[in-house]
Amino acid sequence: MSRVLLLNGSPNAGGCTARALREMISVFEDEGIGTELVHVGNKNVRGCISCGFCAKNGRCVFDDLVNEVSPKFAEADGLVVGSPVYYASPNGTILSFLDRLFFSAPFAKNMKVGAAVVSCRRGGNTASFEVLNKYFTISGMPVASSNYWNLVHGLTAEDVEKDLEGLQTMRNLARSMSFLIRAIADAKAKYGMPEFERGAFTNFADGK
Go through the domains of the chain in sequence order and give each one's CATH number.
3-190 (3.40.50.360)
Q: Which residues, in sequence order, are CB contacts of 207 under 8 Å at separation 6+?
A: none
The answer to whether the beta carbons of residues 59 and 40 sit under 8 Å apart is no
Angle at 18 between CA 183 and CA 85, to 5 degrees: 95
pLDDT digits (tens, 9 = 90+) for 103-143: 999 999 999 999 999 999 999 999 999 999 999 999 999 99
Average pLDDT over residues 170-194: 96
Per-residue pLDDT band at 207 (split at 50, 70, 90) = low
Give me the DSSP letters along 54-123.
HHHHSS-SS-SHHHHHHHHHHH-SEEEEEEEEETTEE-HHHHHHHHHHHHH--S--TT-EEEEEEEESSS
Average pLDDT over residues 51-57: 96
Average pLDDT over residues 95-99: 98
The answer to whether the beta carbons of residues 59 and 106 sit under 8 Å apart is yes
Judge whether residue 208 has pLDDT over 60: no
Estimate to the nearest angstrom the gap between the alpha carbon of 111 and the chain centroid: 13
Mean pLDDT of the chain: 95
Q: How far apart are the first and last CA of the chain?
A: 47
Nearest to 120 by CA among 6, 7, 10: 10
pLDDT digits (tens, 9 = 90+) for 12-48: 999 999 999 999 999 999 999 999 999 999 999 999 9
